[in-house]
Structure 1
């Protein structure tokens, strides 16, 4: 090989061919080197090589420096390296995804719940079987289904097994989601639900102080003071106002009664079972059949067959207000002469004749109540049970009256009340609502769990 003609550098001290090679490789601008074993001479070139020719007679060998990518097999080597890196990354990513999926499934199984529509949770049927010990602790039975006591990892709940559900899966979940979004201090909170085939269940917060009827009518329990009764009446009115006027669509409860008013640890009232009438999708005849056990709170519209509005709840609320005052069912036998008495008529008569309203008060309270508040409650109750629904107030107006911001006069006695008094059997049919009837004809509801359990 004829060596290049361009300038070169002779390196002294290279020692041998390896030293000459190392000198060139350690300098980025070195392009070639040649080592003469006979003369121990190391020559290096920088820059372009000029007039490089093959000459066998010269006996010289030159080593030209080239890029690693130009070496044979470098492309395949790089491809193998890149493929290995990418493959490893894919495997690691798949392993991570599989790990996350397994972790989530285990976590969901452990918690027994998942988020649906915000804070509402969906439970599996197996989870609720476990929480209720296979539905062994039955707390009550109602027209919408049976209720069982359940214990979750962080709280106690009431689990209602719904019966007679007609909606499909999608519509059921839609209705439940709507109920779940309804949040108010005076409404029982829906915690979650279960929808697996024929299994349809609702999970509610547990109320430690039972239902209102167990406090009003059970003389074995501590008597509710008038102040507590008044506050409870206010809370119920606010809860119904929210259902009727504050929700996106008006929600008619259809079964307002003391058994459907639950009390929390602080005696704050919570309206229960709202939204279930629409959820079950009953027609008019079915509603009448299931509500015979609570006849004392039914508005005349239920009997006449006319379309019902939110004013049926107003009527029921009015009937319930009378019981707040007397501390007994509206229909009952007098302790004096044993005759059947209808308390709403007695209250209206006393007020119209200018009598002492304190005499209407539950005898267990003595006279420990504000006469103005008693009169206010009786007047608004009279307005609520008017035959013509257009004469009944809205629940928001009831709240204003009870708060003292709105004054009302005394309405006339409704014709239905006057007519019923002429026939004791009719009075008993339309108003009687004993515990036995509730168990045989209607069966109670979510609230009866606390009553029947004796909590």
Structure 2
């Protein structure tokens, strides 16, 4: 077979020749193993552009025409240049194959290795002797790697089509960037079934955003990432569901061509002819959800096509006017308002930028369902009917029934009622997350639509009679005189003792507090007096746990939750662990640590406020009137999985939380879930197979390997499986109010599997749970995978996330024995560092 890389024939020579050639002119596009690059001005090819961006190229495939756009690989930054990507980018080169910086032709990134973890100045890229390409930050932590060690890699190359690849002695590809797309495609690049283009958050923030384009079995779809997923573009192809075929798309000249592919992914249909582009092009999924094709013209980069054309123009995109914003035909954005009323229930997030959307004047609270009302918006509908496909819906219902169903559902944000002319019944959609709205045009959509937004009404309060200020002053005056007299006597006797004690403790307190000054990346440090004022002297308790109590407070305009450790002797180590852990990591599914207090014996943590509290009160029915619908439960499960995936696989060290339970899952006003309480967390170096530690956590959620004290982050995956079952079943894993044979949920799960009555466990409080039996069953199967006694058989959390997002299937070959019985448990009872008092049961349940 002819080599696909004929320009590499000379790589069969000895590696010393490679190293010699690398020292030649810059247009050389290859590198050999044992090459090392440092991201600083020592790299020879540093070019800064008028827009502030910079490239530091290490490989360049020069343009055959001697000047014009060329593909290069290296370090790239934009704006302030305080963060860099290792990327493939298109740059303009002159006749000497040198990168230039004219006013036209700024660099365009088409692939990056570390979009979620940019590196700093003096980061390094190492093409190791054993064939691995490794990116390290300036502090030597590994950020990204091709994981190709020991695979006989001969060289690194940037091809003429912009593909960065590692190849062996037969010129076969070992690894290539085309297999790991980010937000862009170049001509000839293929997006296969299950792969995604994921947009950046913005033009200046490279982190993965909420829009993605993917190839499914029946064609191409674009989604805004929400729970449930909401589609806004579809290009379906019939005839692709045969077992021996799957779909893929290829970027041709200015467009996407959808094809079928037989079982072997390297044998495409022979009849496919790909037209070549007349100039250099690339296609990018933008942060606003548009898919645009860019082409190099003599004046620079021009947009030549917007591939996903939606009607009516911009109004059919999810965030064109932000959440709750209404898009009109002329592209203007406005906030919802009540007809013929001066009341304002919504306000612009930013008056100067209406496209950022609107927010409720009074936030919704599911703890006050009696104060919820619906705001009617006539001839307003959702941005796309596609987005409503996965949303909770009711068919053949009356409009009033649709409205009442939304009012009774705590997570419902709106009721969308669609009906045809001359009919009273229609379709009812109940979204739990709302994106842009638009003015409805029945002549286009062929249906009428009424939309009702849920709003919060302020209840009237009664005035209370105040105590006489005169009487209060008299009492305070007498008390002050008595207090002064008694106090003066005590001061004379105690002043010497206090002086001595103060001097003894002063040094110990200073040494203790100095420990916190050494924590890197420290969040804001508050004084105890500041937090005492913020919480009204700790008057409103939100809850309590094994290490302390949590109080509501206000820091300026910001509502916060302040956690006070009640016993510093017990909790000092846990306090340090929590500040060090959560203070240095950031993820949308982790509760944000705003600051802390370490003053004398006081230890307090300041978190963002989560108005819907902890998950346990929503699934264990402390509030009997409210039940979460299935889509909200699924969203919560997905958010927990994403948080654990980040902790286990995306941080510099693996972080095992070690106390995953509903009490440590908090919910915001949209029922987005965030993991909290890192008091028991354990850092695990990436080169460690496990760590040795005393048993810690909460009985009922502990994995079997705790008995050996050799644990990995997979103990969290077992706990996650328990929590998923609790969410689905609406009860605690250990519930002593149940009959004796039903006390332990996981043991009951085993029995129901044997009896083939798994669906008997589904929570009956949720009205729609049995309407989604197939989905619920799949999630229960996922929980069982996580509950495997052998930790090696449990999935990684990144796999769990892919399953929840529909990109993978659950493992079917499972061991359905989730409970171990062993006499070792009793001997381990006194070694348990539990986050609540010990009980007669250990690990996942009674033995």
Contact 2:578 2:677 in 1 (8 A): no
Which of the two has higher C-alpha Rg? 1
Contact 2:750 2:818 in 1 (8 A): no
Could you tell me which of 346, 364, 375 is aligned with 2:765?
A: 364
CA-to-aligned-CA distance 1:386-406 (integer Å, 9 cap, x gap)? 111111111111112222222
Q: Which residue number in structure 2 is paired with residue 385 of structure 1?
A: 787
Q: How does 1:424-439 map to 2 (within 5 A)?
A: none
Aligned equivalents of 2:564, 2:724: Cα separation in 1? 30
Match of 1:330, SS?
coil
Q: Which residue number in structure 2 is paired with residue 259 of structure 1?
A: 663
Q: Deviation of residue 206 (structure 1)?
A: 1.0
Structure 1 residue 231 corresponds to structure 2 residue 635: yes
Aligned equivalents of 1:117, 1:154: Cα separation in 2? 28
State the superposition RMSD in angstroms.
3.5
Instruction: Quickly say closer, same or farther: Cα 1:308–1:369, change in 2 above 3 A.
Output: farther
Instruction: Quickly say closer, same or farther: Cα 1:349–1:166, change in 2 above 3 A.
Output: closer
Structure 1 residue 398 corresponds to structure 2 residue 792: no
Q: Deviation of residue 439 (structure 1)?
A: 6.7
Contact 1:298 1:312 in 2 (8 A): yes
Aligned equivalents of 2:578, 2:835: Cα separation in 1? 27
Aligned equivalents of 2:564, 2:735: Cα separation in 1? 34
Q: Deviation of residue 411 (structure 1)?
A: 1.0
More strand by share: 2
Instruction: Quickly say closer, same or farther: Cα 1:143–1:305, change in 2 above 3 A.
Output: farther
Match of 1:322, SS?
helix
Instruction: Quickly say closer, same or farther: Cα 1:211–1:272, change in 2 above 3 A.
Output: same
Structure 1 residue 328 corresponds to structure 2 residue 328: no
Match of 1:262, SS?
strand
Aligned equivalents of 2:598, 2:561: Cα separation in 1? 16
Aligned equivalents of 2:525, 2:737: Cα separation in 1? 50
More helix by share: 1
Give the alignment's TM-score, normalised by structure 1: 0.59
Match of 1:365, SS?
coil
Aligned equivalents of 2:578, 2:619: Cα separation in 1? 33
CA-to-aligned-CA distance 1:287-321 (integer Å, 9 cap, x gap)? 54xx4xx311111122x132221011001000111
Contact 1:357 1:371 in 2 (8 A): no
In structure 1, stretches of 5+ residues that fail to align are 1-115, 431-436, 443-455
The alignment covers a number of residue pairs equal to 301
Contact 1:210 1:263 in 2 (8 A): yes
Aligned equivalents of 1:247, 1:438: Cα separation in 2? 24
Could you tell me which of 539, 549, 553 is aligned with 1:150?
A: 553
Q: Deviation of residue 240 (structure 1)?
A: 0.7
In structure 2, stretches of 5+ residues that fail to align are 1-518, 684-691, 840-847
CA-to-aligned-CA distance 1:265-300 (integer Å, 9 cap, x gap)? 100001011365359xxx944x54xx4xx3111111
Q: Which residue number in structure 1 is paired with residue 675 of structure 2?
A: 271
Q: Which residue number in structure 2 is paired with residue 183 of structure 1?
A: 586
Q: Deviation of residue 118 (structure 1)?
A: 6.9
Q: Deviation of residue 416 (structure 1)?
A: 2.6
Contact 1:120 1:192 in 2 (8 A): yes
Contact 2:734 2:744 in 1 (8 A): yes
Q: Which residue number in structure 1 is paired with residue 704 of structure 2?
A: 300
Match of 2:612, SS?
coil
Aligned equivalents of 1:152, 1:233: Cα separation in 2? 31
Aligned equivalents of 1:213, 1:361: Cα separation in 2? 17
CA-to-aligned-CA distance 1:164-212 (integer Å, 9 cap, x gap)? 35569xx94x973552231111110000111223322211011100111
Contact 1:384 1:393 in 2 (8 A): yes
Could you tell me which of 601, 622, 626 is aligned with 1:198?
A: 601
Instruction: Quickly say closer, same or farther: Cα 1:329–1:384, change in 2 above 3 A.
Output: same
Aligned equivalents of 2:744, 2:790: Cα separation in 1? 20
